[in-house]
Amino acid sequence: MIKAHCMVAGLLATSILGFPAQAAEQAGMIKVSKGAVSIEREGQRMAAGVGTPVMVADRLRTGADGSVGLTLRDNTLLSAGPNSLLVVDKFAYDNATQDGRMAVGIRKGTLSVASGKIAKRTPESVDFHTPTSILGVRGTEFVIEVEGDGDE
Amino acid sequence: MNKSPLSLALLALLLGACASERVVLLPAADGSTGAVVVRDQQGELRLDQPYAALKRSLAANRPYQSSPAEVTERFAQALAAQPPRPSAYVLYFEAGGNVLTQESQAALASIRKEIAERPASEVMVIGHTDRVGNAELNDSLSLTRAEGIRDLLIESGVAVDKLEAVGRGERDPLVPTADDVDEPKNRRVEINVR
Q: How far is A54 from chain B (nearest CA, A)?
A: 13
Residues A120 and B90: their CA atoms lie apart, in Å, by 20
Measure Cα distances from B36 to A140, A146, B71, B134 in Å.
8, 16, 16, 41
Q: How far is B25 from chain A (nearest CA, A)?
A: 4
- Selected residue of A104, A127, A141, A151 to mutate for chain B interface (largest B Cβ count, 10 A): A141
Residue A152, domain member (yes or no): no
Residues B147 and B139: their CA atoms lie apart, in Å, by 12
Q: What is the mean pLDDT of residues A80-85?
A: 98
Residue A131, domain member (yes or no): yes
- Selected residue of A121, A132, A140 to mutate for chain B interface (largest B Cβ count, 10 A): A132
**B127 → chain A, closest CA residue:** A96
Number of domains in chain A: 1
Report the percent of chain B where pLDDT is more than 70. Answer: 89
Q: What is the pLDDT of residue A141?
A: 95
Set of chain A residues whose Cβ sits within 8 Å of the Cβ of B124: 95
Asked if A34's CB is within 8 angstroms of B21's CB, the reply is no
pLDDT band at A139 (very low <50, low <70, confident <90, very high): confident
CB B140 within 8 A of CB B170: no
H or E element that contains A117: helix A117-121
Q: What is the mean pLDDT of residues A61-89?
A: 97
Q: What is the pLDDT of residue B43?
A: 85
Residue A151, domain member (yes or no): no
pLDDT band at A149 (very low <50, low <70, confident <90, very high): low
Neighbours of A93 (CB within 10 A): 22
Instruction: Give the structural domain span for A66.
Output: 2-146
pLDDT band at A67 (very low <50, low <70, confident <90, very high): very high
Of A137, A142, A146, the CB nearest to B21: A146
Residue A140, domain member (yes or no): yes
Residues B145 and B92: their CA atoms lie apart, in Å, by 10
Residues B116 and B113: their CA atoms lie apart, in Å, by 5
With CA atoms as reference, report the closest residue to A79 among A107, A60, A101. A60
Q: What is the pLDDT of residue B94?
A: 82
Q: What is the pLDDT of residue B9?
A: 56
Residue A10, pLDDT > 80, answer: no
Tell me whether A145 touches chain B (CB under 8 Å): yes
What is the DSSP code (8-state) at residue B100?
B
Residues A129 and A133: their CA atoms lie apart, in Å, by 6
Q: What is the pLDDT of residue A19?
A: 43
Q: Residue B150 CA to chain centroid, in angstroms?
A: 20
Q: What b/e readout covers B81-118, taking b as 16+ CB neighbours within 10 angstroms?
A: bbbbebeebebbbeeeeeebeeebeebbeebbeebeeb
Residue-wise pLDDT tens digits, B132-153: 989 899 999 999 989 999 999 9
Residue type, A57: A
Query: Of A117-126, A143-152, B5-14, B67-76, where does the model show the most confidence?
Result: B67-76
* CA Rg value for chain A: 15
Q: What is the mean pLDDT of residues A21-27?
A: 70
Q: What angle do CA A135, B60, A116 make, to 5 degrees?
A: 10
Spell out the residues 6+ positions from residue B9 whose beta carbon is closer than 8 angstroms to its own.
B41
Q: What is the pLDDT of residue A15?
A: 42
Residues A142 and A113: their CA atoms lie apart, in Å, by 5
Residue type, B33: T
Of B22, B80, B192, the CB nearest to A67: B80
H or E element that contains B88: strand B87-92
Count CA within 13 A, CB hemisphere, residue A11: 5
Residues A13 and B14: their CA atoms lie apart, in Å, by 10
Residue-wise pLDDT tens digits, B90-135: 998 887 677 888 888 888 888 999 999 999 999 999 999 999 989 8
Of B7, B23, B33, the CB nearest to A135: B23
Set of chain A residues whose Cβ sits within 8 Å of the Cβ of B12: 132
Residue type, A145: E
Residue A55, pLDDT > 90, answer: yes
Of A16, A80, A136, the CB nearest to B37: A136
Residue-wise pLDDT tens digits, A97-132: 888 999 999 999 999 999 999 999 899 999 999 998
Q: How far is B136 from chain A (nearest CA, A)?
A: 14
Q: What is the pLDDT of residue B98?
A: 76
Residue A1, pLDDT > 90, answer: no
Residues B129 and B96: their CA atoms lie apart, in Å, by 9
CB A73 within 8 A of CB A28: yes
CB B25 within 8 A of CB B47: yes
Please, what are the domains in chain B?
5-80 (no CATH), 87-193 (3.30.1330.60)
Compute the count of residue pairs across chains A and B with CB atoms less than 8 Å apart.
195
Residues B43 and A152: their CA atoms lie apart, in Å, by 25
* CA Rg value for chain B: 24
Tell me whether A95 touches chain B (CB under 8 Å): yes
**A64 → chain B, closest CA residue:** B77
Residue-wise pLDDT tens digits, B150-166: 999 999 889 999 999 99
Whether the pTM exceeds 0.80: the reply is yes
Tell me whether A103 touches chain B (CB under 8 Å): no
Q: Where are the alpha helices (DSSP H) in A32-132?
A: 117-121
Measure Cα distances from B95 to B142, B179, B184 in Å.
12, 16, 7
Residue A27, domain member (yes or no): yes
Furthest CA-CA distance within chain B: 66
Residue A7, pLDDT > 80, answer: no
Q: How far is B176 from chain A (nearest CA, A)?
A: 17
